[in-house]
Amino acid sequence: MGVSASGARLWHSLGMGPLWRERAPAQSAELAHRGQDAPAQLDWQGLEQAVAACTACELCRSRTQTVFGVGNRQADWMFIGEAPGAEEDARGEPFVGQAGRLLDNMLAAAGLGRERSGEQAVFIANVLKCRPPGNRNPEATEVAACAPFLRRQIELLEPRLIVVMGRFAAQWLLATDASIASLRGRVHEVPVGARRYPVIVTYHPAYLLRNLADKAKTWDDLCLARDTYARLCAVRLEAPAAG
Ligand code: URA
């Protein structure tokens, strides 16, 4: 049981110390409020707790639950989307609606999957961990509050390759306002923490549901991603042993 600030003043004015001390907030919730660098030291478990307890922006009021991310935490592949929709908010898992089924099909066609292991394993996360009401676009303040969680996820996962899906996630990660069309078809490099990560940009699965003609371009993007991954693995095998 805690004592309020006015209660504490009353006890003090009576010359008595409070009988109860306000309990320090749980580390994760406290960290979630400290802004940009807050989650920088957290492990997977602490990060997941911090996300679940986060009240750093208004979205905490309308969410059913936070959507942390799904997949293998040793995966070489990371796929990043925008924000949970209604079904993700209800189930607590990213990409479980219609767009998610398309994503799973595309991953399977590329020999990847959220439940797979080894070189076929992926981890899937969003820039925002809470659903914007009515699936509206994320606001800058919401992104500023939430992005440190994604940054920490990248640092913990250390993926060999990141695939960003859709304009919003691509523009955020690459810190640009360029169009998807101009960002596709090449490998970008993005610094996160102490490392630089290769990044490939593709269309968002929800966009593809409305623009079937661009599915072929997304397949090209996945082929580029597979080739890039193979090259990165080969480079690592060829690297001379130290010493
Ligand atoms: N769209 C996204 O960007 N992420 C989800 O998890 C679902 C739909």
Q: Could you write out the DSSP letters of every residue in 174-188?
A: HT----HHHHTTS-E
Determine the distance separating the centroid of ligand 1 and the alpha carbon of 75, expressed in angstroms: 19
Tell me the C-alpha to C-alpha distance, in Å, between residue 184 and each of 11, 166, 174, 188, 233. Answer: 64, 10, 12, 9, 22
Please work out whether the CB of residue 221 comes within 6 Å of at least one atom of ligand 1: no
Contacts for 90 with CB less than 8 Å, ≥ 6 apart: 64
Residue type, 76: D
Please work out whether the CB of residue 66 comes within 6 Å of at least one atom of ligand 1: no
Please work out whether the CB of residue 84 comes within 6 Å of at least one atom of ligand 1: yes
- 91, 106, 204, 207, best to mutate for ligand 1 pocket (most atoms within 8 Å of CB): 204
In this predicted structure, what is the pLDDT of residue 243? 54
pTM for the model stands at 0.84
For residue 162, what are the β-bridge partners? 78, 199
**230 Cα distance to chain centroid:** 24
Tell me the C-alpha to C-alpha distance, in Å, between residue 197 and each of 50, 186, 187, 192. Answer: 25, 13, 10, 7
CA atoms within 13 A on the CB side of 2: 7
In this predicted structure, what is the pLDDT of residue 106? 97
Tens digits of pLDDT across the chain (243 residues) = 333 444 433 334 333 333 333 333 333 333 344 344 568 899 999 999 999 999 999 999 999 999 999 999 999 999 999 999 999 999 999 999 999 999 999 999 999 999 999 999 999 999 999 999 999 999 999 999 999 999 999 999 999 999 999 999 999 999 999 999 999 999 999 999 999 999 999 999 999 999 999 999 999 999 999 999 999 999 877 776 655
**DSSP letter string over 168-231?**
HHHHHHHT----HHHHTTS-EEEEETTEEEEEEEE--HHHHHH-GGGHHHHHHHHHHHHHHHHH
Give, as one character, the DSSP assignment of residue 92.
T
In this predicted structure, what is the pLDDT of residue 241? 63
Please work out whether the CB of residue 82 comes within 6 Å of at least one atom of ligand 1: yes
Determine the distance separating the centroid of ligand 1 and the alpha carbon of 88, expressed in angstroms: 7
Three-state DSSP at 81 gives: strand
Please work out whether the CB of residue 88 comes within 6 Å of at least one atom of ligand 1: yes
Please work out whether the CB of residue 124 comes within 6 Å of at least one atom of ligand 1: no
Task: Report the alpha-carbon distance of residue 100 to residue 107 in Å, rounded.
Answer: 10
Please work out whether the CB of residue 89 comes within 6 Å of at least one atom of ligand 1: no
In this predicted structure, what is the pLDDT of residue 51? 98
In this predicted structure, what is the pLDDT of residue 37? 52
- 65, 67, 82, 93, best to mutate for ligand 1 pocket (most atoms within 8 Å of CB): 82
Please work out whether the CB of residue 206 comes within 6 Å of at least one atom of ligand 1: yes
Task: Report the alpha-carbon distance of residue 199 to residue 192 in Å, rounded.
Answer: 11
CB distance 206 to 167 below 8 Å: no
